[in-house]
Structure 1
Amino acid sequence: MDSSQRVRAILSFIQVADAGSFAGGARALGITPAAVSKNIAGLEKALGVRLMNRTTRTLSLTEEGSAFLHQARIALDALDAATDAAIAHRAAPVGKVRISTSAGFGREQLAPALPGLLEKYPGLAVEVDFDDRVIDLIHDGYDLALRGGRIADSSLVSRPVCQFHLVLAASPAYLARFGVPRTPEELSEHRLLTRRFLGGRVLPWNFRAADGSITTLDTERAVMTLSSPETLAEAALAGAGIAEVGVHHVWKHLQTGQLKLLLLDRHHPGSFEMTLQYPHRALLAPRVRVTVEHLLATFARQDELHVPAEALRLFAA
């Protein structure tokens, strides 16, 4: 099978897989079902594996077929990106870039980075969804996503933005009223503000024991449980209690003295990260590439995302 036959066969395979039938794939390509069937049979023979199981009523992909479909889509994306790259040599990046991000990070970190992007590349337009739910980047049609937490292995490209360190914070007014806890055990006598994720899980508070092991504090008696870490920080600022939040949420309040940090030597900061993710492609569309480069450079200059652990001691209660 020569290269031109291979391309026709792969296109036939993708269209049939998307349509769920040979007839549907043939209509999409403007050829006969018999030609589509011949193309796929030739592809299977060249590869030496069966890609589809077909009967008179049903059609399904084999395990090898599913794997091949994934790689074939990446190849087509690379061809599209190559076209974009060729155009970029004669024109500035143009087009819309769709971004998904959480409400807090989007408002505090992403939004301030966008005016500079649009000033530098006036041919761009940006569409941002501020949504804390987990999205399917490809299926939902996004070019980029900013995701925080423990990032699972993925077929997406993940570019690190920063490490998130959790801290315990409270206002001076709260501490003056209820006292400063000096051990994790003393927290049971305090008003705790905890976070609940959208899936319903309450984030546990972890502490380092003297022997190096990790202990977990039961926060079931928390006086306030919120899904928004930004609102947790605001509640602590208002004197409602002690909150566990990311440093970046409270950095400006630490600098003004409106919040103080607790149990720095014992509290475990967690292992969370923020990443910028996009679909794996051999070549990125210029509009996406320049957006990625601009955002990573801007985030690298945002001090609240890169506070060294030793600097936090300046703000201990």
Structure 2
Amino acid sequence: MFQKQSYSLHKYRNLLKPFMIVACDGYIVDCFGPYKATTSDAEIMTNLFSEGSALRSYFRENDIFILDRGFRDSISFLEGCGYKPYMPESLIEGEHQLTTAQANRSRCVTICRWVVEAVNGHFKRDFKLFRQEYFHRSLPHMMQNFQIAAALLNRFGVRFVDNIYATEILEIIRQQMNLENNLANMVEAQNMNRRTSYFQSITADRNNILYFPILEMRDLILFALGTYQIRQARSYYGEHVRFHGGYRIEVCSEQFHSSEYDLRGSTNGTTLIRGRIKSRHVTRRQYYVYILLENNIPGRTGITEYCCSCLVGRRTVGCCAHVMTLVWYLGWARHQQHISAPAEFLDGVIVREDDEE
């Protein structure tokens, strides 16, 4: 019975689920569990906040809960309790991409929720016991050990603080939260993903993209509203340069009427760039990235609009990792003396098919 209840069809292994409530500064409010692998997060949340529970007395009306999509079935319950739950948006049935409003709201959630993932990572980082599999005889003490580890993290762990650019990031979010992604609308209306004659290929390794503004690291952080996408961009760069020879970047050679689609920026001095970024998860999938530049405008203000064909590619609050990959390389990385791809020492471990031929 235990083996059946502890087997996760999602992870394809036996596991138990501790449950934590974490404050925005990384302080662990409490730990619960362990729960069987087949228990959903929404079910756990509903049981913990049932009528008369201690948590209902601890939390106050209008308290904000930052959740992931696994809690979607408990959202209405939490709202009925007087709380304000937020989670990333889900795709509408039949759609392949979030709307601009959905993508923006999702970014506002994930920009806060990373604290929970970071705290989860600290358990494995700081305690060897949680980096390995538990033996059956030690399982009765697992939750007690987990609670002790949580107490140690609360006592000796470093509290999270706001980013040094937090004030500027909040102001950017307020300005761009309700902006429509007009470039994405134009790309969709003109079916640009399938048009090859509109674009001329260029090589990112040459210095023939002089009109792309030179960016500082501060510009990249404010453009992405954080550092996560910047770290992902370096990984995408490493994969493309090492295994695919480079990026495929194209410049639109046709004239398009920016006023027809209310594109931001001047009507004359703009340049549209298209890049193709291969997916890190699906081998045969590639994403189309479009960046609209206003010529001769320095800094990140020279990038007037951008979009991508990925799930969250229509967002105007921050950007996806695929957009950041091009912005990171063209605006910052190619001006550095040396760019190293992550984990280069692992490239020679696996025998690649092209090496065998």
- TM-score using structure 1 length: 0.20
Which protein has greater RCO, CA pairs closer than 8 Å, 6+ apart? 1
More strand by share: 1
Point out the structure with max Rg over C-alpha.
Answer: 1
- TM-score using structure 2 length: 0.19
